[in-house]
Homo-oligomer: A and B are copies of this chain.
Amino acid sequence: MRRLPVYHHFLTGLAEKGIDRVSSTTVARQFGYDPIKVRKDLALTGAVGRPRIGFVTRELLAHIEAFLGWRQTQEAVLVGCGALGSALLGYEGFSQCGWEILVAFDNDPDRAGTRIQGKPVMPLERLSEVCRQMNVKVGIITAPAKSAQKIADMMVDAGLRGIWNFAPTSVQVPEGVILQQENLLASLTILGLKLKNMKSERKPGLLIDE
């Protein structure tokens, strides 16, 4: 399921090149996966292929988009306009999957009122007011760890139902609010472990995955 966005990106490239039919084998080779795995992933979206032919590229893309909910645009706000926040504000990938960051917030009065990557920056106090007015339901936290919980609380108060947290700490949210924790350190650590494991070449013991 986490693989579907990646397939989508690849298939979009194919479609642009005018390739209108694609087999699971082709996709699998691209990513080093098992064709069966790919086929099973695609089956999840409801797309149907034909033996010996494969899938019709655009049809498949439509199925993936529908399944991932990318057909209707989804809106979000971002809190914390440091380096990471600014990067996300300019991240080109969001638009291609139907997301848009409408407005950013920061508690630094120097930043409020400016624009970053073309998005307006507002003072943190207005979070609740603006979210309710715009009927935004998703918030992104790219603030330092120490203020993450405070911001999450504010977001809950503002009526947000989904929170995507980049701060390297965990935050508590009440029942009914979805929290997606982004954990860069975990990814990096896993990479480091895999590396170390590989060097000690097939030593029995840890088997790291994911």
Contact = CB atoms under 8 A, between A and B. Distances in A.
Q: Lowest 9 A-B CB distances belong to which pairs? A: A83-B87, A180-B191, A84-B87, A2-B186, A93-B168, A87-B87, A5-B185, A178-B194, A162-B195
Band of interface residues on A: 35 or more
A133 interface: no
A192 B73 CA distance: 11
B91 A184 contact: yes
Nearest to A209: B1
Given A82-B87, A170-B10, A164 B191 contact: yes
A38 to B, nearest CB: 13
Centre residue among A3, A82, A162 by max chain B CB count within 10 A: A162
Interface of A: 1-6, 9-10, 30-32, 68-70, 74, 82-84, 86-87, 90-91, 93-94, 97, 99, 117, 137-138, 145, 161-162, 164, 168-170, 172, 176, 178, 180-196, 198, 208, 210
A35 B99 CA distance: 36
Given A1-B208, A6-B170, A186-B2, A178 B195 contact: yes
Contacts of A91: 83-84, 184
B187 A180 contact: yes
Contacts of A196: 69
Given A83-B87, A169-B9, A170-B6, A187 B182 contact: yes
B210 A161 contact: no
Contact of A178 (B68, B191, B210): B191
A193 B87 contact: no
A186 B6 contact: yes
B189 A5 contact: yes
Contact of A192 (B74, B182, B187): B74
A100 to B, nearest CB: 12
